[in-house]
Amino acid sequence: MDKHGIKYKSVKGKTYSLYGETHEISGYYRLIKGITDLFLKKCPDEKKLLAQIQNAGSNRSFIKKLSRKYVDKPLVSFIKKTLSENLSLYTTGVKRHLQTLPLSQRFDPVIRTKEAQYHLYMTEIELINRIYKHVFTSSKYKFALIAHCLRDFRPDCRAVAGDIESICRGCTKECFVNLGSLLLKKYDIHPHISVSMELEKLFKKIKAGHHSVGALGIACVPELAQGMRLCIKLGIPPVGIPLDANRCSRWMKQCRESSFNLEELEELIKDQ
């Protein structure tokens, strides 16, 4: 049980689980932070390292041609090898998922994410958090989008429409949307349940209404990484916490409860 009084249980996702083969999640966070520290010793400039990680995951030949002179091939090779050796235990479901992917889903860039890309996304999320944490916490208006699949499925959700997205009304104490919302409000961050598929339009609307905006995401690894990239593109400093596993109906036949680590969230949003 953590300091928030939450007793976590190990969860398995369609493609990944941050619990790996254990019943505790702290090992993942220690590992991803240690790996990022290692990469920063090779490339101390955080934003240059971020560019190398993003280039390493690009399969688009046009992008590769444009950025070829900026790619540090030995560094990228070291990154990929290190990630594969250390993070594969968290992504054991990817291969089977891709092998059984129906034709209707093979063109979905999130659903067809490959294992190596998961590892790059995990590192990218950690690195973006380091780069933008201070700018985020210093923003005048901070908002959060919490994945809707985190809600407690036992009662009917009583969320109501808000000015951005739906807002949690705290139906049950065990609901991770409720738990996250309460913690975020403590740090003056406006929590919303993410249901919109038009994030760019939503982010532009929020930015137009505020001079200083910071965004926090709580979502599965590939969706979180892509959402953070979109924020950076639009000039909104992002931070984020990945779900412990991807278990929503987009991945599975039915939506199953997931979770995220409240201690890591609080560490991220504290202004230090």
Q: What is the 3-state secondary structure (H, E, C) of the chain?
A: CCCCCCCCCCCCCCCCECCCCCCCCHHHHHHHHHHHHHHHHHCCCHHHHHHHHHHHCCCCHHHHHHHHHHCCHHHHHHHHHHHHHHHHHHCCCHHHHHHCCCHHHCCCCCCCCCHHHHHHHHHHHHHHHHHHHHHHHHCCEEEEEEEHHHCCCCCCCCCEECCCCEECCCCCCCCHHHHHHHHHHHCCEEEEEECCCCHHHHHHHHHHHCCCEEEEEEECHHHHHHHHHHHHHCCCCEEEEECCECCCCCCCCCCCCCCCCHHHHHHHHCCC
Q: Is 152 exposed, middle or buried (0-12, 13-18, 19+ CB in 10 A)?
A: middle
| Boundaries of every domain in the chain | 26-269
**What is the model's pTM?**
0.91
d(CA 64, CA 34): 28
Q: What residues in the chain have per-residue pLDDT under 50?
A: 61-63, 65-67
What the block records as the tokens of 125 is 């999320």
- The closest of 132, 141, 150, 151 to 218, measured between CA atoms, is 150
d(CA 209, CA 155): 35
> What's residue 83's pLDDT?
97
> What's residue 66's pLDDT?
46
> What's residue 54's pLDDT?
93
What the block records as the tokens of 129 is 């958090």
d(CA 241, CA 265): 6
